[in-house]
């Protein structure tokens, strides 16, 4: 656990003044109202460092696209400021912001070839024809589509169309790349592959990137940092490790990764009552009283025999359901009133415990997260 604390110290959540200076793209108290009643984004402050890939992660309707569109200049902010390299761009039109944008639906021109689609932004900027040809070829090479330059979008697969959209955003050599759920139309395998490709291109170009997604695996696996949004607000910003291991709120804990949630009562001595059992957590940040206790299913050990007495949390229960999903087994364990999910890696041999068995559980106090009433 010392390890975790060190990482926390090295990359604090609260950016200092120095770090704000280092940031390339900066959102300051950004707000967007649609009409009178919808407050889609509120008081959003977000520093994005140069060359960083940052995810805007959150459920449907939390304001991700709205935020991205404000950054791109496609819709005006109703309050707040956006700066790039210290320069205020809040009121600049999109074409003067030096940003490349990829929409969720690619938005390619169907009647134009791949080459013309990619060249479009350069033609609008009146780049000479020779130079345009060169830049388009370079962008298409980057996404490995040079050989399909003469095709039209409908003659391409979803993944290829997505790459054309990426080439079109990159061809203008923007200083910032904005991606709105670019992979959500692709099947699972292709999505995995494109994640690696996009990350690879982003790192090779060292381009500051904001990546909108509602997929936590995507955010965890691709990004330097994750900004979790909830109801138009920033719930937490941190590395994948910080957001997963040290969620600031119940919402973040539940949205990023799977987690058990059971009711309990935090006592003044720091222990927690969860019905029949008493357990411990580390440094609860909430006052004594009713709490929600959260434990990740794969951090709980399970055994037929009792675990030796140690400093960890122990519980006993009965398996009421087991689901085999190939690489893991999901056990539902009745603790006498509350149910815990426990995830185990499978083996090729017979499974050691099964439905109806009485089992012993063990998990670390440091894997026991405690939250007070959600605001
Ligand atoms: N033009 C609009 N007029 C009124 N309300 C809008 C408009 N556009 C978006 N909203 C509302 O603003 C909120 C945020 O929408 P936004 O598109 O930013 O969400 P999102 O996080 O991108 O969601 P999703 O994951 O579904 O794409 C939603 O409640 C939405 O209904
Ligand atoms: Mg959206």
Give the CATH number of the domain where residue 87 resides.
3.40.50.300
Same domain? 272 vs 360: yes
In angstroms, what is the span from residue 74 Cα to ligand 1's centroid? 14
Token pair 């003659």: residue: 155
User: Which residue's alpha carbon is nearest to atom 1 within ligand 1?
Assistant: 34
pLDDT the model gives residue 375? 55
Please give the share of the chain, as a percent, with pLDDT higher than 90. 74
- E strand or H helix at 187: none
Same domain? 180 vs 306: no
- What's the whole-number average pLDDT of the chain? 90
Same domain? 327 vs 222: no
pLDDT of 17 higher than 60: no
- d(CA 92, CA 59) in angstroms, rounded, equals 29
Domain boundary pick from 195, 222, 254: 254
Same domain? 320 vs 349: yes
Same domain? 289 vs 360: yes
Asked whether the beta carbons of 280 and 370 are under 8 A apart, the reply is no
- Chain centre to alpha carbon of residue 20: 22
* φ, ψ at 156 (rounded to 5°): -120, 155
User: Which residue's alpha carbon is nearest to atom 12 within ligand 1?
Assistant: 40
User: Assign residue 8 a region: left if phi > 0, alpha if psi is -120 to 50, beta otherwise?
Assistant: alpha
In angstroms, what is the span from residue 121 Cα to ligand 2's centroid? 23
Same domain? 247 vs 271: no
pLDDT of 15 higher than 50: no
Same domain? 240 vs 262: no
pLDDT the model gives residue 374? 67
Same domain? 262 vs 249: no
User: Which residue's alpha carbon is nearest to atom 17 within ligand 1?
Assistant: 65
User: Which residue's alpha carbon is nearest to atom 27 within ligand 1?
Assistant: 60
Decide: residue 318, CB within 10 A, 0-12 exposed, 13-18 middle, 19+ buried: middle
Domain boundary pick from 254, 287, 312: 254
Mutate which of 32, 65, 183 for ligand 1? The one with the most ligand atoms within 8 Å of its CB, which is 65
Domain boundary pick from 254, 274, 289: 254
Q: Does the C-beta of 61 come closer than 6 Å to ligand 1?
A: yes
In angstroms, what is the span from residue 236 Cα to ligand 1's centroid? 20
- d(CA 144, CA 158) in angstroms, rounded, equals 14
Q: 99 forms bridges with which residues in the sheet? A: 176
3-state DSSP assignment of residue 12:
coil
**Residues flanking ion ligand 2, Cβ below 5 Å:** 65
**Quick check: is 211 in a domain?**
yes
Same domain? 75 vs 200: yes
Q: Does the C-beta of 63 come closer than 6 Å to ligand 1?
A: yes
- d(CA 177, CA 76) in angstroms, rounded, equals 19
DSSP 239-282: -HHHHHHS-SSHHHHHHSS--EEEEEEE-TTSEEEETTEEEE-S
pLDDT in tens, 58-114: 999 999 999 999 999 999 999 999 999 999 999 999 988 999 999 877 789 999 999
**Quick check: is 119 in a domain?**
no
pLDDT in tens, 137-164: 999 988 888 999 999 999 998 888 988 9
**Quick check: is 130 in a domain?**
no
User: Which residue's alpha carbon is nearest to atom 31 within ligand 1?
Assistant: 61
- E strand or H helix at 238: strand 233-238
Same domain? 250 vs 279: no
Same domain? 248 vs 262: no
**Quick check: is 123 in a domain?**
no
Q: Output the six-digit token pair for 109.
A: 């021109």
Pick the more confident residue, 276 or 196: 196
Nearest ligand 1 atom to alpha carbon 66: 18
Q: What strands lie across the sheet with 358-363, from one edge to the other?
A: 301-303, 358-363, 313-324, 328-334, 339-345
- Residue 269 belongs to domain spanning: 258-371
**Quick check: is 148 in a domain?**
no
Mutate which of 35, 39, 57, 66 for ligand 1? The one with the most ligand atoms within 8 Å of its CB, which is 66
**Quick check: is 23 in a domain?**
yes
Q: If we measure between CA atoms, which residue out of 167, 89, 95 comes closest to residue 125?
A: 95
- d(CA 267, CA 278) in angstroms, rounded, equals 10
Same domain? 272 vs 226: no
pLDDT of 180 higher than 60: yes
Q: Which of 188-202, 231-245, 259-273, 359-373 has the lowest mean pLDDT?
A: 188-202
Residues near 252 by beta carbon (within 8 Å), at least 6 away in sequence:
228, 230, 235, 236, 243
**Quick check: is 117 in a domain?**
no
Q: How many domains does the chain have?
A: 2
Nearest ligand 1 atom to alpha carbon 38: 5
């Amino acid at each position: 656990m010392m390890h975790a604390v060190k990482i926390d110290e090295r990359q604090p959540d609260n950016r200092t003044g120095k770090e704000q200076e280092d940031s390339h793209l900066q959102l300051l108290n950004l707000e967007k109202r649609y009409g009178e009643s919808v407050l889609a984004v509120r008081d959003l402050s977000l520093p994005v460092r140069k060359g960083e890939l940052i995810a805007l992660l959150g459920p449907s309707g939390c304001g991700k696209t709205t935020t991205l569109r404000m950054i791109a200049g496609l819709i005006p902010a109703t309050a707040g400021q956006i700066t790039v390299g210290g320069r205020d761009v809040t009121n600049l039109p999109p074409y003067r912001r030096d940003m490349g944008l990829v929409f969720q639906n690619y938005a390619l021109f169907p009647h134009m070839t791949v080459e013309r689609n990619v060249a479009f932004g350069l033609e609008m900027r009146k780049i000479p024809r020779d130079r345009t040809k060169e830049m388009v070829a370079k962008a298409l090479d980057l996404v490995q589509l040079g050989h399909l330059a003469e095709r039209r979008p409908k003659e391409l697969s979803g993944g290829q169309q997505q790459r054309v959209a990426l080439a079109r955003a990159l061809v203008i050599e923007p200083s910032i790349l904005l991606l709105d759920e670019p992979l959500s139309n692709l099947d699972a395998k292709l999505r995995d592959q494109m994640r690696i490709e996009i990350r690879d291109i982003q790192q090779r170009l060292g381009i500051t990137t904001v990546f909108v997604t509602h997929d936590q695996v995507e955010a965890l696996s691709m990004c330097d940092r994750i900004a979790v949004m909830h109801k138009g607000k920033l719930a937490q910003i941190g590395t994948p490790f910080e957001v997963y291991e040290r969620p600031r709120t119940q919402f973040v804990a539940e949205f990023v990764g799977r987690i058990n949630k059971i009711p309990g009562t935090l006592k003044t001595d720091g222990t927690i009552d969860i019905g029949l059992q008493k357990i411990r957590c580390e440094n609860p940040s909430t006052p004594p009283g009713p709490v929600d206790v959260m434990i990740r299913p794969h951090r709980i050990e399970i055994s037929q025999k009792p675990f030796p007495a140690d400093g960890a949390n122990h519980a006993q229960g009965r398996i009421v359901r087991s689901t085999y999903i190939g690489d893991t087994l999901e056990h539902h364990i009745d603790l006498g009133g509350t149910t815990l999910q426990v995830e185990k890696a499978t083996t090729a041999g017979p499974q050691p415990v099964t439905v109806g068995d009485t089992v012993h559980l063990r998990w670390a106090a440091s894997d026991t997260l405690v939250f007070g009433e959600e605001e």
